[in-house]
Chain A
Amino acid sequence: MSPAIALALWGWGIIVTVDLVSAPQGLLSRPVVASSVAGLLAGDLAAGLLVGVALELYALDVLPIGAARYPDYGAASVTAGAAAALTPNAPALALAGLIGLPLAILGGWTLHLHRRRTAESIHRRLARVAAGEARAIWELQRNGLIRDAGRGVVLSGVGLLTILAAAAFPWSAFPRMALVGGATVAGGLAAALGGALRSGGQGARRRWLAVGLATGLLLVLAQ
């Protein structure tokens, strides 16, 4: 991995991390987006897209509502997508499971930590905010963005080290590693299906889900 690619991946990882909850929440942190761009930056868009689709199945299970705690797939997808692009002798889908899933949990944990730090920051400025001091409110917003970007710096840094480790790993010594890719896909199907059934409820939405599944199956059988 050249320094230019490492720098580009680091920057993209930070953007993706900030996009999840701070700004602009423009779908950049979705695995299929984050990983595809990471693959493109690392020189293999197809590998990034493949990993992105696999991790996206997991992310479809997440409903980021209110105070819910959830994994952060953004930087995790950047790492897994770039690792797949930069490690052609490793099975891409195995990398999605081995790298993407644990890093998503780490990302979710840092998000919780970030929110606690923001709460402490607000407590320190409570009197100024209660007095209507617009500067105190602006400082809180600015610090929140900086803190979230810092989260991206750390997650992307861990990601770059993980990519280096993946590149150095003797994948050829484990000829059946593709099985891990199969397990990753099975877990992804379980996640997407479980999430769809839960949010599908009981009425019309579940019927639409059934229509979608049937259409998808027909499309696959027609290939």
Chain B
Amino acid sequence: MLNPLATDTFDVAIIGAGVVGCAIARRFTLEGARVAIIEKADDILDGASKANSAILHTGFDAPPGSLELSCIREGYKEYTEIHREMGLPLETPGAHVVAWSDDEAARLENIVEQAASNGVANVKLIDADELFRREPNLSEHARMAVAVPGESIIDPWSAPYAYLRQSLENGASVYLSCELNAGVFDDGQWLLETSRGTLPCRHVINSAGLHGDTLDEALLGETEFKIKPRKGQFVVFDKAAARLINSILLPVPTDRTKGIVVTRTIFGNVLVGPTADEQESRTDTSTDAVSLASLLASASAIIPALGAMPVTAVYAGLRPATERKHYRIAARPDKNWITVGGIRSTGLSSALGIARHVFGLYSESGANHHPVKQPKIPNMPSLAEGGQRDWQRTGHGEIVCHCELVTEREIRRALGEPLAAHSLSGLKRQTRATMGRCQGFYCSARLAELTEGHFDVPMSVKAGHD
């Protein structure tokens, strides 16, 4: 028999600390529930949430009348309300859906109409002259565009970190490196068996992302959907490229995909991606040279001057798509279980909205809590290019990562509680160390030294020489 991981019964256990799980943890904690978050990786945001295009969408192109649309709208609204007090960056450069052919140009009118019926204001057609005035470096082949002024860029990692930190600071518990293996539902209560011990709770929320279907199957004995992982590869250009682009450049979408985006990031880079390839594996986030080269070609077809810009980073993420397009959010009241599945590509934008929706479903079960009266609000360190950074203040020690100007004080903070980084990936997401031009040429040795004893898989071991 397993040892207990916790003995007191939680109101709810949230499985999976991706952006959706973190937002749900925050919402439930603020509403007064006793929350446990269980994550199998050594750091949060290790699955689908580690790689996305870092855009906060307005929902202008979401399916009309869908749950996805209402969650994006809610999520967008709440983010804009809370970002300042949490120290989360938000920039609203707006997006342009660019038509590159007559055929695409003919479809722009529909996009404007859809935006209006989705409740997104000020979306309008602009002609080529206006488009080139706004984006002077755009390829001359652009015909016209739809301007969506509300589309924004955010920090895709500090946002979920803030959600989970607020949850923890107001009483929730997080269990990392903790894999859920089995569970028994009896008399209105679950006893979850995890790799770190047993945990009793009344409700379970499955926000396991890429493993959502297998988790349903393992604990409920059935699943309503099948995850079909879709890989998206991205290329990040040198910060010097940020001068070449003012807004988020979107293609006219097709039935299959939203297509390849070129956008500035909140960190001052330019991002191009994602590709969209279905695959079996739920863990294989490898990049391939052919796809990366095709992304570079797409980028220079959109903004020719990007062809001369150095590449800073490449990455790939897996989106938890299913056999259908829509979100797969469903409650099983008979089992005190809510599945939040198939949040394939808009999770960063919709997470706060999904959290509200899921809390609504949960409340229908009759649960009754008292919202936290004066919740603690975490203040996140700013990593945005335009924001107040630690290197601007005294007493930061030294610059460790020169490319991204990450200070020794920032590294030490990220290695301390709460939510200390347990891997280089986690540290990167919290501080941006090694994410710049040199990708660790200068700072790997210093980082190996500073992180000694902190990582489950160390960057290096003490050598016997000298």
Genuine A/B complex: no
Task: Identify the A interface with B (CB < 8 A).
Answer: none
Interface residue ranges, B against A (CB under 8 Å):
none
